[in-house]
Structure 1
Amino acid sequence: MPNMDVFMIALSIMLQGMVGIFVVIIIISLIVALMGWIGANTGKKNDGKTDAQ
């Protein structure tokens, strides 16, 4: 059954690659969301200051 072993190894490598890609996508999206949230908050604070003036 060496063919089955090769198939299982290839499958595990593919799964590891897919998981890695998903992790990278999640991390990037979190960073972008965090930067957008910080930008929105600082923007609101600045708008509040300009409105107060």
Structure 2
Amino acid sequence: MLHLSSWMTTLPMMLIGMVGIILVIGVIVLAVMLLNQVTRRK
């Protein structure tokens, strides 16, 4: 059974959590790319 009132209160929290996870993954990917550029063998 779906309770619309609880869905509407938890949806913004879930959205904030998902955005936070995506941002953290993006920072990790950028850090790895930067480290690959800095430590590349010539």
User: What TM-score does the superposition give when structure 2 sets the normalisation length?
Assistant: 0.80
Please provide the CA RMSD for this pair: 1.2
Bigger radius of gyration: 1
Structure 2: gaps (5+ residues): none
> Structure 1 or 2: larger helix share?
1
Moved over 6 A (4+): none
Aligned residues: 40
Unpaired stretches in structure 1, ≥5 consecutive residues:
45-53
Q: Once the two structures are aligned, what percentage of the paired residues are identical? A: 40
Q: TM-score, normalised by structure 1?
A: 0.66
